[in-house]
Amino acid sequence: MNIPGLGQATPAATFSAPTIQAAIAVHDLQANSEWRFEVAYGQSIEVKILSGSAEIFGTELAINHTYTFRGTKSSIFTWHGCRIEVSGACEEYMAEETPMVTYVNTHFALEKLRDDASQTGGEGPRVLIVGPNNAGKTSLVKLLTSYAIRMGRQPMVINADSRESLLSIPGSVTATPFASILDVEQGWGSSPTSGPSPVPVKLPLCYYYGLPSPEDNIKLYKPILTRLALAAANRLADDPVIKATGMIIDTPGIISQGKGGYDLISHIVSEFAVNTILVLGSERLHSEMMRRFSTYRTSLGQTITLVKLDKSGGCVDRDETFLQQMQEAAIKEYFFGDPPKRTLSPHTQQVGFDDITVYKIQECMFPPPKHDLKAPNSMPASAINTSFLPGGEEESEQLGLYEKIEPSSMMLHCLLAVMYASTRDSHETIRDASVMGFVYVAEVDEKRKRLKILAPLNTKITDRPMVWGSWPETTSTFQTPLKNMSALYRTICFDAVYNS
């Protein structure tokens, strides 16, 4: 996986009570029905299509091929009926009513726009998907991406949600051109950091935000999205196939749930020149989008088409425990691979405190932070009221985007993003730089002033600035001794170049 570098009305469902599967079960799915399943982390199931045809989020499954699923909430849909064999324990049920017909109609409407763009040499649709948390936005992005690929297209997929990873570690936002099928077992597939893969790898462009919510630091989030939009637009201009296919943009649910979030949606629409907005599962949000964008014209002079889609009945809430497990799994896969398919062995480096340059992201500029009243000195510098700054200085000038820090034990078990920038560059240059890769702080020796870090390869990183964010959260996932990790592959590309 990971970046190249160091990687409304709910449709009615007919289902039995969730059950724990026996050893092997065979299910007959009727036409236009869906088998929905949930597999906990630490468990796995094997699924085989015995006959008929079926797909997962638009990617067709091969007959008599065994697929293994771990730690996921997913579904298998069939247009014409099929028989599947399931081995292992999972929660599952059958759904006979799904919104798949409306989703596919949306795909064909986008295809018509792409055909027009191909004939005229113009740009394909730039699609923004918005909706509340757990409305199925990412699943819809996967489905539209998969169908576009099956039509011979190459969509550019934008992930603006830092809580989840798309071919990267959580905390980052990415832009990825997709030219090959999605790996249904891994979700999106893999990138060069994962070693050999049966499915062609993807090459995402990654920028680091390092906070879980856009509202934690809007002054940092907006410029990063602007830089991401510029890079994605340049990529479209360089490739006529991607240009005619267009973009599909995934968003965090939090921005669809309040006025401040609506302003962020307007920012995304403006920066990415969005001309199609799909509103998923919210009548109120659709009404607000109509009010804001019914007469709006993009920078390319286009009007915006708004489409309201129903939320799938298969969407389930993901609690904080599940999200944390998903985050830890993504980080672990970045450094150690995905056993038993492929195992990676990270390189251990010892670096001195004086040899590295680390910046801490300023948090909670907006809204004001909740600080401990018992510890008045715990309020971060970013919470200072700018009206009291000397001489009327702007907050960004006085406080900066980042705070340069001395390494300490507080960094233990944290991730640092290594940036494509120089240690002498300004905060704005570092912010606008793409991510080279990530390192993990395994040990901190304050007496000797040295750090032990894990990196994908034995490559010099001391001449690059490293950014420390609060997301992903501190984790002790990798306390397993390195001597117990198999060293089968060292094929991670630390200095990969973003290309086709």
Under 8 Å between Cβ of 274 and 195: no
Q: Is 499 annotated as a binding residue?
A: no
Q: Is 73 annotated as a binding residue?
A: yes
Buried b (16+ CB within 10 A) or exposed e, 171-185: bbbbbbbbbebbbbb
Under 8 Å between Cβ of 357 and 406: no
Q: Is 271 annotated as a binding residue?
A: no
Bridge partner list, 455: 347
Longest distance between any two alpha carbons in the chain, whole Å: 74
Under 8 Å between Cβ of 103 and 137: no
Q: Is 134 annotated as a binding residue?
A: yes
CA 326 to CA 488: how far, in whole Å? Answer: 24
Q: Is 137 annotated as a binding residue?
A: yes
Given phi > 0 = left and psi -120 to 50 = alpha, else beta, which region is 31?
beta
Q: Is 34 annotated as a binding residue?
A: yes
Q: Is 136 annotated as a binding residue?
A: yes
User: Before 204, cis peptide (omega within 30)?
Assistant: no
Handedness of CA 39, 41, 46, 51 (dihedral sign): positive
In order of 58, 326, 338, 386, the CA distances from 323 in angstroms are 24, 5, 18, 35
* No. of helices (H) and no. of strands (E), the chain: 9, 23
Binding site listing for ATP? 34, 73, 134-139
Which residues define the annotated binding site?
34, 73, 134-139
